[in-house]
Copies of this chain bind each other. A is one copy, B any other.
Amino acid sequence: MGAALENAIPFAVTHELIRQGLQNLNMIAPISDISTDMLIGSGCVKTVTGAWVGNVSGGMGHNYRRAAEKGIPNSIKINDYSNFSIGMAFFAGAYGLPYIPVKSILGSDITKSNPSIKMSTNPFSDELEPVALVPALKPDIAFLVVQRSDHFGNSHIWGSTGLTQEASIAAEKIIVLADEIVEPEVIASDPSRVLIPGFGVNAVCHVPAACHPSPLIGRWKRDHEFFHNYHQETRDLAGFETWCDQWVRHLPDHEAYRSKLGDRLESLRIIGDAPSAPANYAAE
């Protein structure tokens, strides 16, 4: 969840995981802004596999700190990666490499605090050239927020995608949250904008603004104030509980969440038009 880094984060899924009270989850993402912090505070998380957990606007994630420092609400295990090395771990998982030799974390204590990373040397070099061997990472499920999809799950994404493609192909199952459902012809008009085709997708859900408060390029602006308020209101556990009741637990679904946001959500809707130049796929 949050493979795209700071945009297109599937917060609608975050909320539903909390409502369903799932536990012992392993949250895998390079950076997923406050999504992981919410899940930790709700006691859903046993393991965090990633590069960064916090609040991009506010800095620290209070729930992450409480869990890692004091075991509140429960202690968590942290599998440390850098962005590039977790990207390579997804790549290996996606493309059938049992492991991958990475140099970008040499010298970092990530190679010490993450016991799954092995140190080795390059067998093609006569000199002692160190490499870090990172095992393939294969998530069980990848949740993707996309701008538009047809009802088969053939989807278009644009803007920066972080590790979305590698994480999705590595995952056992892919669930698409589409901001808009369109006719198959719209997607088929531009097959190079497809990140993963429908036959690789296990479910497609129509959830407008599933990304809120994170942005979705061409669809929704980022709700900076929401991140800021979350940071202020979750400084202690009681504050988080109140926040979480109000925005997650006491709401039945994402439709109710959107209704609660009301005009605020409308003000984040992108109404401008900056269309891409057409690409011609004609064959004759």
**A contacts, CB < 8 Å to B:** 88, 91, 95-104, 116, 118, 120, 122-125, 129, 131, 133, 135, 147, 156-159, 161, 182, 186-187, 189-190, 192-193, 217-219, 221, 270-284
Structural contact, B99 and A99, CB atoms closer than 8 A:
no
Structural contact, A274 and B280, CB atoms closer than 8 A:
yes
- From the candidates B135, B182, B281, name the one contacting A276 in the complex (CB within 8 A): B281
Tell me how many chains of this kind the complex includes: 2
Structural contact, B284 and A280, CB atoms closer than 8 A:
no
Q: Give min CB distance, A161 to chain B, whole Å.
A: 8
Structural contact, B192 and A158, CB atoms closer than 8 A:
yes
- From the candidates B96, B131, B275, B284, name the one contacting A278 in the complex (CB within 8 A): B275
Structural contact, A159 and B192, CB atoms closer than 8 A:
yes
Q: Give min CB distance, A154 to chain B, whole Å.
A: 12
Which chain B positions have C-beta within 8 A of A135? 124
Structural contact, A158 and B281, CB atoms closer than 8 A:
yes
Q: A274–B278 Cα gap in the complex (Å)?
A: 9
Which chain B positions have C-beta within 8 A of A279? 147, 156, 158, 190, 193, 218, 275-276
Structural contact, B275 and A280, CB atoms closer than 8 A:
yes
Q: Chain B residue with minimal CB distance to A215?
A: B283
Q: Give min CB distance, A186 to chain B, whole Å.
A: 5
Structural contact, A123 and B147, CB atoms closer than 8 A:
no
- From the candidates B124, B219, B276, B281, name the one contacting A190 in the complex (CB within 8 A): B276
Q: Chain B residue with minimal CB distance to A284?
A: B272
Of A101, A124, A274, A279, the most chain B CB neighbours within 10 A belong to A279
